[in-house]
Amino acid sequence: MTTAKKQLLFNGFMMNVVGHVSAGLWRHPDDRASEYTTLDYWLHIARLLDEAGFDAMFIADALGQIDVYQGKPDAALRTAAQSPVNDPLLLVSAMAAATRQLGFGITVSTTYEHPYLLARKFTTLDHLTKGRVAWNIVTSVLESAARNLGLEKQMDHDERYERAQEFLEVTYKLWEGSWEDDAVRRDREAGVYTDPAKVHPIRHQGRWFTVPDAHLSEPSPQRTPVLFQAGTSDRGRLFAAQNAEVVFLGGTTPQSIAQNIDKIRTLAHEQGRGAEAIRFITAISVVVDEDDARAHAKFQDYLNYTSQEAALALFSAWTGVDWSGWSLDEPLKYIETNASRSALAGLTRIDAERQWTVGDISNYIGIGGIHPTLVGSPQSVADQLEAFADASGVDGFNLAYAISPGSFEDFVRWVVPELQARGRMRRADGTSLTLRERLQGRGQQRLRDDHPGTRFRQLTDGYPQEVQ
C-alpha cells in the first residue's frame, strides 16, 4: 500500500522594496521590481499566486536603514539592498480585493508597535480579507530602527523577546477575550448594535504595557490572525514554541533545519501543545526552465547581475557585523551580536559540511539570500523540493525570487503543474476558507484549544491577577 505524500505549503516571499534577498538582480532587464510603488505590480503578483494555488504571500519588512556595512547606508542605497522600503500593511486590502483564496502574512515588529493599535490594524484586515491574514512576529534587529524610534540603542536580544511575550499577551486579551462571541447583536428594532455587557476591559498592567480598556474592534473571522514567527535563537525557539502556528526557519541544509524543528517541537510539547500545532516552512529560490540546460544558462545569466556590495550590505545588517573590514578569503566565525543570531549561527555552527568565507557568502547571497537555490527543469526542481521537504521535515516553502515577477511566473508555468500532478501542491478551487483553516483544516478558524492564547478567552470584568 502506497502512503499518500504530504501536500506542501507554498508562499510567495516578498518585501515592499526594489531589492529583497537577491542582491543586485533589480538591474536585470527582465526585472520589474522597481515598479513596487504601483498597485498594478502587486495586484499582478497576487493574482498570479492566487490562481496558481499558492497559500499566501509572505511580506517581509525592515524599520531602519541598512547601514551596518561601512557604518553608513550608502552601499544599500546605491545597490537597492532593501533600500528604499515601503510599508507592507497598506498593500493588503487592495490585493485581498483582487484575490479569492490567497492569504497574506505581514511582518510587524513587537519592539516598535503598540499592541492596542496593532490589534485594531489586524482585526480590520482580518475583516476585509474574510480571515486571510497572518502576522509574522519579529522583534527587529537593526540599530538604525532603534535610534529613529525613540531608543538610544537596540534593546538586548533576549529582552526584546520578553517584551514580545507581553505584547502577545495583550493582543490575546484584546482579540480572544475582550468581546464575547455574541456581543454584536445588530438589532435594528431594539436599536442595539453591541451589547455593552458583553464587551470587557482587559485591565492589563505589566512591565512594558498598560492597557486598561476593551478592544476597539468587533471580532473578526479568525479573531487572532495566524501567527508566524521566524527567530531560531534559543530564546526565539522558546517564543515560537509558546506562540507560533507557523515557524519560518532559515538554514542552508535539510539537516540543519531538521535540528531546529526537533528542538521547537520538543519545547512546544513542554508547553502543552500537540504534535500538529506548529507548521514549519523555509525559504528557497528556484531558477527553472524547460530543461536543465536552459535553467542553468538562465542561472548563469542572473549571476552576471549580482552585486557583492549589496550582498555584504545585507549580510552585515542581518548579522550586526560590519564585514567591510574582512578579506574575502577569511573564514566566517560566529560573533555574538545584538542582531539576528540565527543567520550567522546557521552558517558557522550548524552547517558543519561547509567552511564559509566572506567571499563565499557574498557570492551565495547574490541569488536567494542565505537560502538555498534550486536550478533545473520542472521535473528536476520538483524532485529537489520533494527531497528537501522529506529530509528536513518542513511543511512548505517561502519562494524567494531572483527577478520579479519573472521568477514567480516561471515557477507557475513550469513547476506548479508538476507539483500538482504529484499531489504535492494544492489546486486553486475557489473554496472560501480562512487562512487558519487552509493551514489546519476546515472549521479551525480560531486558535487551537492547545494554544496558550486561548487561556485569555474567559473574561467577565477584567482578567484575574494570575494571568496579568
Q: Give one DSSP letter per residue of 150-179, joined into a string.
A: T-SSPPPHHHHHHHHHHHHHHHHIIIIISB
Instruction: Specify the pairing of strand 133-138 against strand 103-109.
Output: parallel
CA dist 163 and 235 (Å) reads 12
Report pTM.
0.93
338 within 8 A of 157, measured Cβ to Cβ: yes
Cα dist. 280→333, 404, 435 in Å?
Answer: 27, 25, 15
- The domain spans of the chain are 9-181+193-453
Quick one: fold of 9-181+193-453?
Answer: TIM Barrel (3.20.20)
Digitized pLDDT (tens) for each residue of the chain, 468 residues in all: 456 789 999 999 999 999 999 999 999 999 999 999 999 999 999 999 999 999 999 999 999 999 999 999 999 999 999 999 999 999 999 999 999 999 999 999 999 999 999 999 999 999 999 999 999 999 987 888 888 888 888 888 889 999 999 999 999 999 999 999 999 999 999 999 999 999 999 999 999 999 999 999 999 999 999 999 987 788 999 999 999 999 999 888 899 899 999 999 999 999 999 989 999 999 999 999 999 999 999 999 999 999 999 999 999 988 888 999 898 988 887 666 555 555 666 565 545 667 888 888 888 889 999 899 999 999 999 999 999 999 999 999 999 999 999 999 999 999 999 999 999 999 999 889 999 999 999 999 999 999 999 999 976 554 444 444
CA dist 455 and 457 (Å) reads 6
CA dist 89 and 15 (Å) reads 11
CA dist 4 and 94 (Å) reads 37
372 within 8 A of 400, measured Cβ to Cβ: no
426-433 long-range contacts (CB < 8 A, ≥24 apart) are 426/7, 426/53, 426/55, 427/53, 428/50, 428/51, 428/52, 428/53, 428/100, 428/101, 430/100, 430/101, 431/101, 432/100, 432/101, 432/130, 433/101, 433/131
